[in-house]
Amino acid sequence: MSDAPLIVRPEVADALSSGTPVVALESTIISHGLPREEALDAARGFESLVRGHGAVPATVAVLDGHMRVGLDDDSLARLVEEDLPKLSTRDLPIVLARAGSGSTTVASTSFIADLAGVRVFATGGLGGVHRGAAQTWDESADLKTLSGVPITVVSAGVKSILDIPATLERFESFGIPVIGYGTAEFPGFWLSSSGHRLDWSVPDATAVAAVMESREQLEMCEGIVVANPLPVDQQLDPDLHDRALAEALRRAEEKQVEGKDVTPFLLASIVELTEGKSLEVNIRIVENNIRVAADIAVAWARQ
């Protein structure tokens, strides 16, 4: 095996050098965001959906001391079978130095995908500012990283487990453009709208590629957040959502969950409290974002 810290799967490297569209996918959602029984099928399904929409998938993870961009099926299986740590950007030098492995968050996936030259990334929801952050300072490194990595990330906003208005403020502080995809409202992940207005929206993938082109001309280093809502008929029932969210937050407080465990704890609680419905919606969200990200990657490849 190569000693290079970054290994790009040959199919992905060929696509990048020939101008074929590529979409990066994160691995934390596979190893920590979905129940083990469903995660491998979901990971495979995400990859084939990228292919079905005319792009090459590049799932990102760290395996045996290498940052990998594009995984074969055995590696995808490792994400599910091994108890891998969740790695943000700050963990990368430490884990690489000890030849370790881990799944990558939006922050570390963006960082690694950009090193490989991938320009478009599909995820479910971004990390953001946690509730109570004024006391805890718990703010995802996704925000800071996206302020310095020029990748376009398609998400359904941030989950309502976070402080959504504070997260939108931080996007502004960090100079990260946020664009509603066919909407003027910031999506609420499981819900189609968070109720918060956005300054800008675009109608389609070609318009996003045009924004990417302008950003290049300006030599801006910020990423672009494309906020893509789930259609209303596919969202989680709002009453069920509100009840599950309140109870999950209560449990986290009672158990004094802290640090990087907060996001996985709240997500798992909400899956349980919605009897798996939040999970079905979660998978639909990622699929919906993948379709848009692939369209953007195709439009970008034509620029």
64 backbone φψ class: left, alpha, beta (φ>0; ψ -120 to 50): left
Kindly provide the b/e burial profile for residues 35-51, where b requires at least 16 CB atoms within 10 angstroms of the residue's own CB.
Answer: eeebbbebbbebbebbe
CA 142 to chain centre: 9
Q: Which stretch binds ligand PSU (CB under 6 A): 91-99, 232-240, 248-256, 260-268?
A: 260-268
- What does the alpha-carbon distance between residue 105 and residue 202 come to, in Å, rounded to a whole number? 26
From the CB of 259, what's the least distance to ligand PSU, in Å? 7
From the CB of 142, what's the least distance to Mn ion, in Å? 9
What value, to the nearest 5°, has the Cα angle with vertex 264 and ends 49 and 184?
60
Q: Which of 59, 75, 101, 140 binds ligand PSU (CB under 6 A)?
A: 140
From the CB of 85, what's the least distance to ligand PSU, in Å? 12
Task: Look up residue 25 and give its two tokens.
Answer: 């996918």
How many residues of this chain interact with ligand PSU, rule: CB under 6 A?
19
Whichever of 138 and 295 has its CB closer to Mn ion, that residue is 138
Answer yes or no: 260 catalytic: no
Q: Report whether 260 belongs to an annotated binding site.
A: no
> Which residues 90-129 are close enough to bind ligand PSU by CB under 6 A?
105-107, 124-125, 127
From the CB of 218, what's the least distance to ligand PSU, in Å? 26
For residue 55, give the H/E element and its range.
none
- Per DSSP, 259 falls in state G
- What does the alpha-carbon distance between residue 222 and residue 212 come to, in Å, rounded to a whole number? 10
> Which residues 261-280 are close enough to bind ligand PSU by CB under 6 A?
263, 267
Using rule CB under 6 A, residue 28 touches ligand PSU: yes
Using rule CB under 6 A, residue 187 touches ligand PSU: no
State phi, psi for 58 to the nearest 5 degrees. -135, 85
Burial class (CB in 10 A: 0-12, 13-18, 19+), 1: exposed
> Within 10 A of 97 (CB to CB), how many other CB atoms are there?
10
Task: Look up residue 195 and give its two tokens.
Answer: 């109720």
Whichever of 80 and 143 has its CB closer to Mn ion, that residue is 143
From the CB of 102, what's the least distance to ligand PSU, in Å? 11
Using rule CB under 5 A, residue 114 touches Mn ion: no
Answer yes or no: 159 catalytic: yes
> Which residues 127-156 are close enough to bind Mn ion by CB under 5 A?
138
Task: Look up residue 261 and give its two tokens.
Answer: 């465990």
For residue 169, give the H/E element and its range.
helix 164-173
Q: Which stretch binds ligand PSU (CB under 6 A): 21-29, 54-62, 238-246, 288-296?
A: 21-29
The one catalytic residue in 47, 139, 159, 260 is 159
Binding positions for Mn(2+) are 138
Binding site for ligand PSU (CB under 6 A): 26, 28-29, 32-33, 88, 105-107, 124-125, 127, 140-142, 159, 260, 263, 267
Using CB under 5 A, list all residues that contact Mn ion: 138
The residues that are catalytic are 26, 159
